[in-house]
Amino acid sequence: MIDSFGRRITYVRISVTDRCDLRCRYCMAERMQFLPKRDILTLEEVARLSDIFIGRGVRRIRLTGGEPLVRRGIADLVRWVGTRVGDGLEELTLTTNGTRLERFAGELFEAGVRRINVSLDSRRPERFGHITRGGDVRQVLRGIDAALEAGLAVKINMVALAGLNEDEIEEMLLWCGSKGLDLTLIETMPLGEVEEDRTSHYLPLDAVKRRLEPRFAMTPSLRRTGGPARYFEVPALGIRLGLITPLTNNFCAGCNRIRVAATGTVYGCLGHDQKVELRDALREGGEAAVNALLDELLAGKPRRHDFRIAAAAPAVARHMSVTGG
């Protein structure tokens, strides 16, 4: 799959649900209205779509949500898609908030997953509870330990938020070093209407990097995971620090991904509404109909997103949980 700008699409993020058991302030409204079950793809349909993507040259698939581990039958889906690892698919990964990881870590490893991302914006119980509107960080930390024990490589994703957790970034980096976990910092993105003022919590990561450099020597890394992060080696800690900077350093020139929502809607860009609808095509027209729509999507895939943190309205109306991050 190649778009009109010559970018080869080898990475697909597939949301298996828009539901989540947390309500992070920068991601969701406090009272979310979730999709009825009839509107979302069955797990068998997700597996069929995965096969179509692999047949068209996709080499990495990441399962996302909402929170993917709240989807009933998720372990079966992971096993189905996991059978394609080494058979056209190079890697199956998953992004999770970690609340159910203690239960599923072993099954994920047995199904062929070797690497996961865990979203963790604070290790301080009260602060974590505030950011997530009621989450228990101890549950997540137990999940991370279970994942490591199962043999999974774990990377921590931390949304850097001015006035909320910016004073904890160095602490998080040190903790990750003590456990051998890479850390990726992410700038908050203007997606969906939320009660919080994103402008007041926007923290440019270039400034964060300058603040960390006097204490931690960092050198650019050759590490690539298929995503948008720029990685830096932190030799003193033996880990890598990744920076995802949609606002301060646009990374769209190297975009290699598309995103499938739980409804089968496929977005060419996180920051645009350009999309095609695959659910009915998959159910009624099969692979040929799906491929025709994918060709249409690729022909219109935007050159870049247009995130502006100070804009009066978010870049798109849909919440991050709808698209799958």
The pLDDT averaged over each successive group of 10 residues in the chain (325 residues) is 94 95 84 86 97 97 96 97 97 97 98 97 97 96 98 97 94 98 88 57 90 94 77 96 76 83 92 89 95 96 67 53 61
Binding residues for GTP: 13, 62, 95, 155, 257-259
Query: What are the structure tokens assigned to 111, written together?
Result: 């199904």
Integer Cα distance of 172 and 82 in angstroms? 31
pLDDT at 317: 58
Look up residue 34 and give its DSSP letter: P
Number of domains in the chain: 1
Binding residues for [4Fe-4S] cluster: 20, 24, 27, 252, 255, 269
Q: Please count the other Cβ atoms lying within 10 Å of the Cβ belonging to residue 90.
A: 15
Q: Going by C-beta distance under 8 Å and a sequence separation of 6 or more, which residues neighbour residue 125?
A: 136, 137, 138
Place of tokens 């089968």: 264
Spatial strand order in the sheet of 182-187: 219-220, 230-234, 239-244, 182-187, 153-160, 115-119, 91-96, 60-64, 11-15, 257-260, 265-267, 275-277
Q: Quick check: pTM over 0.95?
A: no
**Assigned domain for 147 exists:** yes
pLDDT at 245: 83
Binding residues: 13, 20, 24, 26-27, 62, 66, 95, 119, 155, 189, 252, 255, 257-259, 269
Q: What is the CATH number of the domain that holds 182?
A: 3.20.20.70
**Assigned domain for 2 exists:** no
**Assigned domain for 138 exists:** yes
Q: Please count the other Cβ atoms lying within 10 Å of the Cβ belonging to residue 303.
A: 13
pLDDT at 148: 98
pLDDT at 213: 94
State the angle between helix axes of 101-110 and 74-82 in degrees (0 to 180), rounded to the nearest 10: 20
Please check whether residue 130 is in contact with residue 23, taking contact to mean a CB–CB distance below 8 angstroms: no
**Assigned domain for 5 exists:** no
pLDDT at 287: 96
Domain that holds residue 195: 11-323
**Assigned domain for 6 exists:** no
